[in-house]
Homo-oligomer: A and B are copies of this chain.
Amino acid sequence: MLEVVLGIDIGGTNTVFGLVDRNGNILTSDSIPTTGDDSAESFFERVFKSFNEKFELVKDKYELKGIGIGAPNANYYKGTIEHAPNLAWGFVNVLDIIKQYTDLPAVLTNDANAAALGEMKFGAAKNMKHFIQITLGTGLGSGIVVNGDLVYGHDGFAGEMGHVRIDKNNRVCGCGRKGCLETVASATGIKRTVYELLAKMNDKSSLRDIPFNKLTSKNIHEAAVKGDVVALEAFEYTGKVLGKAISDATAYFSPEAVILFGGLANAGDMIFEPVKRHMEKNMMDLFKNKVQVLMSGLPSGDAAILGASALIWHELNGEK
């Protein structure tokens, strides 16, 4: 029988889960709406009902070894999800809840940390022991690996690179403070930058026809490819701020690589080029030309499941 794990990624809207083998092959995958108004108890009832029905059909082929869960605001040490903004669950102990459904080893961590382990096991960070994974989505999520293991800190909440302060601006952040890195370096951040530039510059721009709530980092990328000066300037500024922040993170961690993932990273060279240029420009001599900036090595649709399953494989392999 093939040894497999169940990887579960809980998102604000949808939850995806599937069986993954030791080599990162996704053997089954499924998704259900998360519907955050539910209680966590009834949510996991739905997940396991759906999973068990399908697993019945394949249980002769696969030996299930454990369960890995990635979720927003999740705490690895405690097995809790704590007041995730898009889930109406408050403070819940997930590992306690799922004990009703399984005796298998189960672990939980936040989605950014799971993504980093996914890169280490199956993606762009294979064989690396020191790297930073950055997801440029609605916010900036980061998972930091030192000596082959995640940096959790003493309370399990370390690795919040998105909330390092960058001083130069004072944009209000979702965390309640001002000037956090993710207010600039994220898919939402570049939208804010575009709007700031549309106010500041007089140049024609196709982006002047798109309302804020419709604007996406994809729109901005498409405009930039066509030479839209506002869009180009927005990428330049985003790359400058993120590149500089990576040079600071390097002083702390001296990583072998920084891996970019998520909506804004999909803009490819348009964002990678200014990030690398400003990173090197700001780097201490000691670290110049040492840190690679890489695109995620995980297919974006599968990254969440692969991250969640990497988490439990990491544990089962005794690497933790």
A sample of 16 more A-B contacts (CB under 8 A), given A153-B255, A154-B256, A167-B167, is A146-B146, A146-B151, A147-B152, A153-B253, A154-B254, A156-B254, A157-B286, A158-B252, A158-B253, A163-B284, A165-B244, A165-B247, A165-B248, A175-B285, A177-B284, A252-B252
Q: What is the interface residue range for chain A against chain B?
A: 35 or more
Q: DSSP class of A's interface residues: helix, strand, loop or mixed?
A: loop
Q: Is the CB of A167 within 8 A of B168?
A: yes
**How distant is the Cα of A176 from the Cα of B149 in the complex, in angstroms?**
33
Copy total for this chain? 2
Q: Taking CB as reference atom, which chain B residue is nearest A162?
A: B251
- From B155, B167, B176, B284, A160 is in contact (CB under 8 Å) with B284
Q: Is the CB of B165 within 8 A of A282?
A: yes
Q: Is the CB of A285 within 8 A of B176?
A: yes
**How distant is the Cα of A175 from the Cα of B284 in the complex, in angstroms?**
7
- From B147, B153, B252, A164 is in contact (CB under 8 Å) with B252
Q: Is the CB of A163 within 8 A of B285?
A: no
**How distant is the Cα of A286 from the Cα of B157 in the complex, in angstroms?**
8
Q: Is the CB of A248 within 8 A of B155?
A: no
Closest 9 CB pairs of A and B: A153-B254, A158-B254, A154-B256, A130-B154, A160-B251, A167-B167, A164-B248, A163-B251, A163-B284
Q: Is the CB of B157 within 8 A of A252?
A: no
**How distant is the Cα of A237 from the Cα of B155 in the complex, in angstroms?**
30
